[in-house]
Amino acid sequence: MSTAEIEEFEDAVIELGPRPLVILGSSLSPDGLYGAALTLLPTAHDYVMNDLYERTPDGWRDHGGGNGDIQWSALGDEGRGVLAFGGEAPADASVARVSYEGREHKVPIRHGHFFFVAWDTPYEENPVVQTFE
């Protein structure tokens, strides 16, 4: 996905959410029909939300979610979906190394948090932060 598409999605998340809202991380599905966002509400004692959004002909709409940490949502009938995993990072970290499905992923730190998203996954295991850099 292009930077412009991510920026458009993040702008929509901010418009849909309570204010003020800080985007900690985001990801768009490969087909562009879904987006995941980890957000923080400073006015609610820095409450972290992990939400899924769906693109409609009229724009983005909330498709469910919950509080931070691990969130898995089914996207279809085949038992596959999206796994979103976020959390706090040490103050000096710029990257989290997350292990999932036998692979290690470098995940950038944004506003002191990491946000890892796996699309089209059956969610058979939990992702694990191996280390921060």
Q: Which pLDDT band, with edges at 50, 70 and 90, does 18 fall under?
A: confident
Mean pLDDT (whole number) for 83-103 = 97
Long-range contacts from 124-128, C-beta under 8 angstroms, 24+ separation: 125/100, 125/101, 126/70, 126/85, 127/70, 127/83, 127/85, 127/98, 127/99, 127/100, 128/98, 128/99, 128/100
Share of the chain above pLDDT 90, in %: 80
Q: Which pLDDT band, with edges at 50, 70 and 90, does 14 fall under?
A: very high
The pLDDT tens digits for 38-73 are: 999 998 899 999 999 999 999 999 998 877 689 999
Q: What is the pLDDT of residue 29?
A: 96
Handedness of CA 112, 20, 25, 121 (dihedral sign): positive
Average pLDDT across the chain, whole number: 93
Q: What is the pLDDT of residue 76?
A: 77
Mean pLDDT (whole number) for 67-87 = 87
Q: What is the pLDDT of residue 2?
A: 86
